[in-house]
Structure 1
């Protein structure tokens, strides 16, 4: 068969490459899904989504190793930086933006980069995802160094912006993680920790905001949440690293202190008042029967880990 000019054009090559990706595969059994009832389509989608947690579970050892490495660098003052395009980039920005209200982190500690800049959160920026150079420039703007972790996110695992981010970060000595939804991806190959969550073809051919997006969200939840647990941002399953700065947060703070200590309301109010609304400090003053200044010193020595500070206050172990 004689090749046509379009077969060898860049677009022809791209079409051929996409045809090899699991996330882009066509499913003939769903070719007439638009003829089904709304409830039938919903049941199919729900069934598809149930396969995602199993795909994530298959990669848990790799995910855990990536999280431990991330937490180690963040404990040294490093940052967690997500980089992606389109849906993947938006998911990274979303996860980053939720860390300050959840864990009282400085907004600069967990950062989301999306190809094309903040405007790309709501409007597609043509060509931005195809530029490795743009990713390098965005990371240079953050002055990425050896204490940082950069997570490239791409459903296909071939998006130049995500791959370029990982390559550039690795060259700067940063820890690199590549999160994709296809096996043997260039992104995973470029990263120190390759996380390939293979969820299979989408309900709508190539619509990776569906199962692939769900899988990425689940993994990002794990990366940020477990890293923060490792950094001492929680006490058990309580979000203790919050400061009561408005009425809603004051109510939440009182409840957290109550759950952690079982103390009566008046003791909780007094503890929060003397510690300036710092929940960790208030809990420590109650459980260890110490004053606010001592509690603050113990927490500093324990690098913010409430359980370690509590053990030190009780003489059960060193606060380090």
Structure 2
């Protein structure tokens, strides 16, 4: 996660302990927490009245809120954010959970869309939250195989397989007069040069070679190679944006107003504008980012939180760039200690395959 909140250093150790306990109880039970209950939980020599005094100061500082007179206190969004950034102790994933995530993120023989869909569904199932994932369609990954397959007299399928086994298919219009032999020749020519190179690198190298006098393929095959690589470069297609298991979050909200606001939020995310803004926030750091309620403009009206980790690509001899993100969205009362490691591990596995 990001660096610890500066607010953590501004409250004393006793206040930190009491705030942490209040929030942990609230996250489990979802009801206001009394000073008497905290005194029993902490098994502390502090009296309920002393704890109540500390809780009152935390309320004055904006970390706790009392919804009703003498009904106990609940954390504010600011209090939750301080807890997550500086006081939370993260749990560990089980071996089975790690294996399930790795299996779902496996790319061999799958399209990018399938990998993203499977991994986000696994994350939704494990976290019991609505999951979301965004990634562009045109990630420039190192390749290991390219093939041209005839569909009919006018069209061919361009198949690319990256070094991890991820498959992408594009349909191209073939030059007039192309034969089956020319398709094979073009395939063999590209595959003699493709391994470990990205599409942009391959296209540049082949373009330079085809400009020389010592050409290794005939004119029609040369045209097929050039146009086939061009169609893979230009045909970016729609970016991938998936929201899985909306029902998980809908089932946790019972107020009609909250449901309507959440539905509006998810639709806005589907339109990608606000999600792109969140990506800009994640691009400056690494690891998991937590956006909570009114601390984030997106969720100010919905009472929701989002836990998200960036998907990044390391380009040869260049800096790492953010490609997209994967995460979960739910009510602010989430099991952060369990879900944050899930999102983090899923993103790391995906990043390993995407790079």
TM-score tier, shorter chain, comes to under 0.3
Q: Relative contact order, CA 8 A, sep 6+: which one is greater?
A: 2
Q: Which structure: greater helix fraction?
A: 1
Q: Which structure: greater strand fraction?
A: 2
How does the TM-score come out when normalised to structure 1? 0.23
How does the TM-score come out when normalised to structure 2? 0.22
State which structure, 1 or 2, has the greater radius of gyration over its C-alpha atoms. 2
